[in-house]
Structure 1
Amino acid sequence: MDPTAPHLLIVDDDERIRGLLQKFLARNGFLVTAARDAAHARKLLSGLDFSLIVLDVMMPGEDGLSLTRDLRKRLKTPILLLTARGETRERIEGLEAGADDYLPKPFEPKELLLRINAILRRVPSEVQTGPKYLSLGPLRYDQERGELWQGESPVRLTATEVALMKIFAARAGEVVSRTDLIEELGRDRTAPEDTGDRAVDVQITRLRRKIEPDPREPRYLQTVRGLGYMLAPD
């Protein structure tokens, strides 16, 4: 996982589509974080910088057009809208709201990839800022360097803890299953050979001792029963 790769935010209320896009784009070299709705997206955007936002128009609650209009008042981050409605009027409305491109559903993943890359090529380099810091109470995690700090003092992490933090930070706010953790750690040469379910649980426990005010009541590295773990920064 390359912490300098473009960081994409996927916003879609369909869990299946979120998961498919997240895996497809990650396989193509992007850091990917996903949000389930506009409110979740706002929370992530308050703590992270993204290179591009892929945003579904038709969502319950606040829709993608409303969110686009509001984000455009304060962010230059490129926005690619996805919608099941592909009429010319709908595309114009999306572009007028401030979107950089518009892709009707259903679409081929390859076309989405080409459009994302085309947008990123057009964006000035200073706008393509990747994620910087995640706040975990008194701690801050530098995602580009893979370092955890408390004030001006670094918090020592083992190689496996560094690998875990990179995985969770790239998917902040999303549940990461044990299966995904095992696969990611298995690809990381610094991780131990034993990366089974029990080994992962032990490493999570050790990491919590360094980032949680009370490791017995995790606030930041949460257990999602039956699904996995989720990093929930401030």
Structure 2
Amino acid sequence: MAAMRQAGEESAHILIVDDDDRIRSLLKRYLAENGYRASAAANAEEARELLASMAFDLLIIDVMMPGLSGFELTEKVRAASNVPILLLTARGLPEDRIEGLERGADDYLSKPFEPRELLLRAANLLRRAGPTHPTRRTITFGECAFSPARGELRRGGEIVKLTSGELALLRALAQKPGEAISRAALAEQTSAAMERSVDVQVTRLRKKIEKDPRAPIYLQTVRGVGYALMPD
């Protein structure tokens, strides 16, 4: 039975991060059967690559994974994004739930779980995120309009070609329009090798969105912090 969803939730894009092939496959199919778009990653590294190239409305993350744990991935995502996060774990101890919430998770579900309960919790998180979630709207600045969900930038109505690095940077900045985001946080979210790589991407992106890249209006430098995207 499909869960009852609020308007706009049917198109929500959910990322499942779990190293268990069976659970990952089952969840992806179950979410798709209930009207959601679903993508999957087997570990934190794959998840971060997907996050750098696509926008998601909800993350479902397993805690116990090789490499970066679900706790660590949650903390890194939360440093630069407000996307809702639901943690899954085979450990149901109170201290584990507390650590997950402290790292930035919004909800917590112990394994084994009923798929119906996961669906309801996902719907609740999406509803709380509301229709103004950054991935659901188009951000305009000057002649430009950017849709994080589609990964599409238009200038004067014409599509502007972006590299994967430029798209990841613009999406990261669009998550918090008008707010300064540190170079370190942008490097983490865009998988840039170092903070200087962020500076290079900013320079290139300014050439595509600013009338005068040397005197930027929309992609501004915030001294001592990093960068901010200033919408209309």
The verdict on a shared fold, with TM-score over 0.5 as the criterion, is yes
Residue 115 to residue 31, structure 1, CA distance change in 2 (3 Å): same
In structure 2, C-alpha distance between the alignment counterparts of 1:79 and 1:153, rounded to whole Å: 32
83, 86, 98: which one pairs with 1:80?
A: 86
Residue 143 to residue 126, structure 1, CA distance change in 2 (3 Å): closer
The offset of 1:124, in angstroms, is: 3.0
The offset of 1:130, in angstroms, is: 5.0
Secondary structure at 2:131 match in 1: coil
20, 37, 57: which one pairs with 1:31?
A: 37
**Is the 1:57–1:65 Cα contact (8 Å) retained in structure 2?**
yes
**Is the 1:83–1:104 Cα contact (8 Å) retained in structure 2?**
yes
Residue 130 to residue 43, structure 1, CA distance change in 2 (3 Å): farther
The offset of 1:153, in angstroms, is: 7.1
Query: Any idea what the Cα deviations from partners look like across 1:71-127, whole Å, max 9, x if unmatched?
Result: 111011000000000011110110010000000000000000000001111113222
Residue 145 to residue 67, structure 1, CA distance change in 2 (3 Å): closer
**Percentage of identical aligned residues:** 51
Answer yes or no: is 1:91 the counterpart of 2:97. Answer: yes
55, 61, 68: which one pairs with 2:61?
A: 55
The runs of 5 or more residues in structure 2 that have no matched partner are 1-7, 139-147, 153-157, 161-232
**Is the 2:10–2:36 Cα contact (8 Å) retained in structure 1?**
no
Q: How does 1:168-183 map to 2 (within 5 A)?
A: none
93, 100, 120: which one pairs with 2:126?
A: 120
**Is the 2:10–2:35 Cα contact (8 Å) retained in structure 1?**
no
TM-score, with structure 1 as normaliser: 0.55
- Corresponding position of 2:21: 15
TM-score, with structure 2 as normaliser: 0.55
- Corresponding position of 2:51: 45
Q: How does 1:206-217 map to 2 (within 5 A)?
A: none
Secondary structure at 1:53 match in 2: strand
Which amino acid letter does the alignment assign opposite residue 123 of structure 1? A
Residue 71 to residue 143, structure 1, CA distance change in 2 (3 Å): closer
**Is the 1:49–1:130 Cα contact (8 Å) retained in structure 2?**
no
Query: Could you list the runs of 4 or more consecutive aligned residues of structure 1 that deviate by over 3 angstroms after TM superposition?
Result: 142-146
Secondary structure at 1:107 match in 2: coil
- Corresponding position of 1:103: 109
Residue 105 to residue 153, structure 1, CA distance change in 2 (3 Å): closer
Give the root-mean-square deviation of aligned CA atoms: 2.9
In structure 1, C-alpha distance between the alignment counterparts of 2:21 and 2:66, rounded to whole Å: 13
**Is the 1:7–1:51 Cα contact (8 Å) retained in structure 2?**
yes
**Is the 1:131–1:144 Cα contact (8 Å) retained in structure 2?**
no
**Is the 2:15–2:40 Cα contact (8 Å) retained in structure 1?**
yes
